[in-house]
Structure 1
Amino acid sequence: MTPPSPDSSPPPERPRSALAVLGTYLGPLKWQVVTLAALLLTGTALNLLLPQLLRRFVDSAKLGAGADVSLLVGLAGLYIALAVGVQLMTAGATYVGARVGWTATNRLRADLMAHLLSLDMREHKERTPGEMIERIDGDVTALSNFFSQFAVRVFGAALLLTGALVMFFREDWRVGLGVTLFTLVTLGAMNRVRKLGVEPTRLEREASARLFGFVEERLSGLDDIRSLGAGEHHLRRFLQTQRSFFTRSVTSWRRRSVVWQLSMLLFAIGYVGVLTAAVGLYAAGAISLGTAFLMYQYMTLVEEPIDQLTQQLQDLQKAGASLGRVSELLALKSAVLGGPAPLPPGPLALDFDHVTFSYAPEDPAAQPVLRGVSFHLPAGQTLGLLGRTGSGKTTLTRLIARLYDATQGEIRLGGVNVTHTPLHDLRRRVAVVTQDVQLFQASVRDNLSFFDPEVSDAAVEAALREVGLGPWLARLESGVRTPLPTGSLSAGEAQLLAFARVLLRDPSLIILDEPSSRLDPATEALLTAAMTRLLSGRTAIIIAHRLDTVARADRILVLGDGQILEHGARDALAHDPNSHYAALLRAGVLDEGEGVLA
């Protein structure tokens, strides 16, 4: 199936409660559920018939020399045939149940992934990627294991248990009443004990999420950890995190194990009771020897489903905790929502109108990162964005792409408020190239197309040649289908690949975040040529640390402490001896430390 678009606007309504999640993902599989029910009913009926055959066989065999051998052979053959039928029904039910469970949870996993991608950056900053992985994979896998066996083991066990109790009543109402009371007491006791494991299981899943997050963060920062010789400290911290997970896992297991321990104790009592009743009735001549065997067999049919329920109750504890966490995640709502107004075609003019932004608007003590920013960038022109570290340059560009929304003020593209246009349209028309380019362990074409099958190989090749990577492409053994291991490219090649990605999308506004800050002069010259081709006919914003990077910009905007220090045409500012930009030109560098931009 095709998962919903993560940037669709407005986002699809998703279930919030645990029961709603179950209904949403199991409801569409009703015909498979009907097939599953038919298999379970048939298998249960055959299972209940087997002790009846056994009773008749025992009573017939008890006659000794007078027994009808052909009847015994027929009963034995029928017993074997029905037993095989029970196994076939069970196998079929297991297959259909697994198919139902995995189909439902695969849909849930896809929707959960799309939902996470649709959340705004504020939500992602509050959780580590490792925690997100645990939610999508760990929690949903726990649900998959539960769903795939729930119908077969729980529903089937309930059918078998009910049938066995009915059969007890048919044989002797007193024994049936006693076994029924025993079953009710056993199920009630186990249900009370089961609740003891819910909270420890939830804490275990949270500890697992923290462990995943810790590992992901350390692997991401492996270069810094090695270069600074901090491996021992991080290993010690890992052991502390692992110890917390282990402790909570053991505590959770102990609480869950009480269920089956109690079950074993109660069934020891139950078997003694049934065997005592059977022996007493047989001794009194009230039942035959075959009926005594039948009662024992039906008691095993009572134990088997309760044992299944006992095991599933432990899985239910895990699934319940996971389902609650998944429901909480699906209930999160993105504050960044789109509207119906389309953006006009062609290059887009950009307007900031008294824009103020804070990463913590709910905290009155938090200082805004941008304060009252207003400027106009005509369509098709390039803006060089300068300023000291922390002045708000990157934040300003994030607001354009709506990774965050302005706290106050308005941002317009082509005269349209960015909050009024569909998110998928906005992010298709606005492209951002960051300083750290993310590459995937996939083919060259998948790295450029972001796994879009509709992008042709020819289009990918054309984009690579357009940014000057034609010679590099010619050296690849399988062309654009060549696998591209992460870390195999230089910083300059990675930036050029990012430019090729943008060309494939053909956006109307491009944001380049410090594209040449880590490059040597020769590579920067190649990048500058590619940048010229990339920006032709498009509106662009370039965040730069080097003067050469903004030498071809039409306009310059200098930020300082979240406010505009100056803004104007580049040539005019260059010839104004009192401008910040002219001071930078005289200094020959973009000094982000003390001095020129202070």
Structure 2
Amino acid sequence: MKLLWPYIRQMRAHLGWVLLGALLALVTLLASIGLLTLSGWFITATALAGAASFNFYTPGAGVRGFAILRTAGRYGERLASHEATFRLIARLRVWVYQRIEPLQPAQLQKTGSAQLLNRLVADIAALDNLYLRVLSPTLVALVVALLVAAFLALYAPIVALICFAGLSLAGILIPSVGYLFGRRPGRDQAQAQAELRTRLVTLVQGMADLRIYGGMNLARDSVAEAETGLLDTQRRMGLISAAINAVMTAVAGLTMILALLFAAGLLAAGVLQPAQLAMLLFCVLAAFEAVMPLPLAYQYLGKTCEAAQRLDQVVNRQAPSVFPASGIEPPQPGRLSFSNVSFSYTTARTALDGVDLSIEPGEKVVVLGHSGSGKSSLISLLSRFWDPQCGEISLGGAPIHSYTEATLRAQMSVMSQPVQLFAGTVRDNLQLADAGLEDGELESLLGELDLLDGLSGQGLDYQVGEGGARLSGGQRKRLALARALLRPAPLLLLDEPTEGLDPQTEAKVVERLLDRAKNRTLLLITHHAIALERFDRVLVMDSGRVIEEGAPDRLLADPDSRLVALTRWDQSTGLA
């Protein structure tokens, strides 16, 4: 229960719906028991009365009243309990996302996108068993058992004791056995479901490459294997359910037999009337409706606990980068510096090794280096996706950790590598930068980047597809660049903004970029030389260190400069 307690606490936000659903469930069960109990007495009393004078109307009205109340209560209970469950699941998804969102990318990458999707969808959905089938029905069954026992005790205490014992056996012992037998298969079922979902997502995401390399059959076999594993757990759970239902039926029947034997003795002794005997037996029979759902619910409680445990693996992680609740405003917007900064993603390899650099407001700087030289790590640390192991990073003239997250994000506009576009229109993706931008301004920038003509005449209404699938690689780059340029921030951080563009388009894009960033600080990361003469300074990185920096013309004039070697390599490979 300790594992489930954080999720139970979320019910407080929708306590009204929860209590209403439980109350209506109680009313429905009592109406059902009352209907069968009164019917038993009415039918027996009518048969015994025969043609004698007998008031048929009052008990007949009671039967009709219980029937109407049972039907209305059942409808209301389904409506209220499902409303409470759906509201709870919606709240849980938001709560889980709020716990996941501050985590660093490395923490989420260990889990994987498919597993995160499974936790947000299937694992949270599995928690509906907690309220809908465990908590509320257990509470209602307890109240019903006490009320029924109290009613039976008015006529035959021994029958009340037998009924309460049978209800306890069916409502406590058998669900406990069901939980013990179903705990392992239930957990296996949750894991098998997650594995199947992961393999399906992987197949869909990699379908193009799988078809090209002839791996579809292998991928389908993998999915079929996972599906077989899930079906096996479902079969095991089905066998347990069948056995438990059989035991429940046997317990209910045995309770009825014992109640009949003792009640018959009371009838023979003149303590009970014949009609009362039928009434009590029908009441005992109807009372088992309250406990019948419990064994199945507790059988699947193991699956619910497994889902909660899987959620705990992500929601209870602590984000290493903690932002202050309140912070300062940047005294020098656009300025940034690294002072002896070292950082590694793993202990096996150093990404940055004692980096020192300083960029003044409005300065245009290119960071060059081969893949793996540590260039992109600069952006990751500036964004506080990770924190350095040593050294200090300053932004806007103050330590980066002195800003709230909102203030930090407002100081920079980032184009990451690879770019991330969202399913929707071009307009939707651009307005992420600023929701108040007018269409004219958006179209003007797209025209400058030679992107507007390639949108099939639909302009801003063009659907980019999931992840920008309906755009070419170069179009995705330019659209992401446009979005970065539209964000009103003093610092532009661009990671490979011209990758995949032909030389003519690249030159034009860089020219427009520099024009648009005239009054802003620009840090452009790339692995090949592009329009260096337009930049104030070049930093060359290798093995996590800044090995060379200076004005482009000065470095290019030095035959021993690493920049000259990089430029020659670009020319030999056709990149420049």
The reply to whether TM is greater than 0.5 is: yes
**Map of 1:318 onto structure 2:** 303
**Map of 1:243 onto structure 2:** 228
**Map of 2:11 onto structure 1:** 26
Distance 1:188 1:458 in 2: 71
1:88-167 correspondence to structure 2 within 5 Å: 88-144=72-128, 146-148=130-132, 153-167=137-151
1:355-434 correspondence to structure 2 within 5 Å: 355-360=341-346, 363=347, 366-434=348-416
CA gap of 1:328–1:252, structure 2 versus 1, over 3 A, is: farther
Deviations 1:54-98 (A, max 9, x none): 414522441111142xx2134223311221012212322221222
CA gap of 1:590–1:196, structure 2 versus 1, over 3 A, is: farther
- Superposition CA RMSD, Å: 3.0
CA gap of 1:452–1:306, structure 2 versus 1, over 3 A, is: farther
Deviates more, 1:576-585 or 1:351-360: 576-585
Q: Which runs of 5+ in 1 are unaligned?
A: 1-15, 594-598
CA gap of 1:558–1:431, structure 2 versus 1, over 3 A, is: same
The SS at the match of 1:197 is helix
**Map of 1:540 onto structure 2:** 522
**Map of 2:245 onto structure 1:** 260
Deviates more, 1:467-476 or 1:107-116: 467-476
How far off its partner does 1:130 sit? 0.8
How far off its partner does 1:138 sit? 0.4
1:62-101 correspondence to structure 2 within 5 Å: 62-68=48-54, 71-101=55-85
Identify the match of residue 210 of structure 1 among 195, 199, 210.
Answer: 195
How far off its partner does 1:350 sit? 1.7
CA gap of 1:484–1:388, structure 2 versus 1, over 3 A, is: closer
Deviates more, 1:174-183 or 1:457-466: 457-466
Deviations 1:299-346 (A, max 9, x none): 222211110222332343333332333344321111111133335277
Deviations 1:224-268 (A, max 9, x none): 222222223333333333333333444455455554343233223
Q: Which runs of 5+ in 2 are unaligned?
A: none
Identify the match of residue 485 of structure 1 among 442, 446, 465.
Answer: 465
Deviations 1:198-218 (A, max 9, x none): 233223222322332222233
How far off its partner does 1:421 sit? 1.4
**Map of 2:24 onto structure 1:** 39
Identify the match of residue 59 of structure 1 among 45, 53, 61.
Answer: 45
**Map of 1:333 onto structure 2:** 318
1:229-240 correspondence to structure 2 within 5 Å: 229-240=214-225
Contact 1:140 / 1:322 at 8 angstroms: preserved in 2?
Answer: yes
Distance 2:134 2:343 in 1: 49
Contact 1:356 / 1:408 at 8 angstroms: preserved in 2?
Answer: yes
Deviates more, 1:131-140 or 1:583-592: 583-592
Distance 2:416 2:531 in 1: 15
2:528 counterpart letter in structure 1 = R
Contact 1:464 / 1:473 at 8 angstroms: preserved in 2?
Answer: no
CA gap of 1:391–1:254, structure 2 versus 1, over 3 A, is: farther
Distance 2:449 2:99 in 1: 34
TM-score by length of 1: 0.86
1:497-536 correspondence to structure 2 within 5 Å: 497-536=479-518
Q: Does structure 1 residue 183 correspond to structure 2 residue 167? A: yes
Contact 1:341 / 1:416 at 8 angstroms: preserved in 2?
Answer: no
CA gap of 1:466–1:33, structure 2 versus 1, over 3 A, is: same
Contact 2:333 / 2:411 at 8 angstroms: preserved in 1?
Answer: no
Distance 2:22 2:473 in 1: 59
Distance 2:431 2:129 in 1: 34
1:409 counterpart letter in structure 2 = G
Deviations 1:169-212 (A, max 9, x none): 22211111122222223322431331332233223222322332
**Map of 1:9 onto structure 2:** none
The SS at the match of 2:85 is helix
CA gap of 1:27–1:506, structure 2 versus 1, over 3 A, is: same
**Number of aligned positions between the proteins:** 570
Identify the match of residue 210 of structure 2 among 225, 229, 232.
Answer: 225
How far off its partner does 1:565 sit? 1.7
Q: Does structure 1 residue 272 correspond to structure 2 residue 257? A: yes
